[in-house]
Amino acid sequence: MNILMVLTSHDTLGDTGEKTGFWLEEFAAPYYVMKDAGVSVTLASPNGGQPPLDPKSDAEDFQTAATRRFYDDPEAQKDLAQTKKLHFVEFQKYDAVFYPGGHGPLWDLAEDDFNNKLIEFFDANNRPIAAVCHAPGIFRHTLGKDGKPFVNGRRVTGFTNSEEEAVGLTDVVPFLVEDILIKNGGIYSKSDDWAPYTVVDGNLITGQNPASSERTASALMAQLSARKAA
């Protein structure tokens, strides 16, 4: 099985002068869930090469077994430093796609026409699509097979308004993930702030926050395994 993981290339946190990017745990935990299952993982980003890491996610308070494993894994670091340029990826050959969050995707992947076509292709062919934390915001302009917003009528979760408020970025981000999912007709649900929470609706798998990364990836792998066994 081949899984495509798409990361952000955006590194500027609005007009704050601060940096952003992808959230380390949201990459590392899913990456190892997939690698340990023996599947092939291809990393891509809009600009290719090394995607920007949100420096806050590198703080000691946010380190997990998966992030520490990553920093002890030269091959994984090399893999991350050499992401393929998204627009040149032959996405049709992949069995599933996974999107780590961080604030970066709200600026680039959410507005990327090629990325929308990728998601729409996966959906039309009933291939699993997984996104965690801020990454469900990339469905902002994506359409479903019926021409309506991709999340319309689907059960979904993502970073909550209260979690965004807690990190003080409500007025910095271009839009709020919870709001856009609801506006687009998603059947949005959530757990307590920072608690692990994953929602599966057909081929769409979403996780609420960084703590949901591993279980979101595990849900993706369970779906692929069930399809392979069928």
CATH of the domain at 159: 3.40.50.880
pLDDT band at 227 (very low <50, low <70, confident <90, very high): confident
Segments forming the whole domain that contains residue 39? 2-229
Question: Tokens standing for 104?
Answer: 């970066």
Q: What is residue 200's three-state secondary structure?
A: strand
Per-chain mean pLDDT for the chain:
97
- Residue 148 confidence (pLDDT) above 80: yes
pTM: 0.97
Report the domain count for the chain.
1
- Cα angle, residue 105 at apex, residues 207 and 159 outer, rounded to 5°: 35
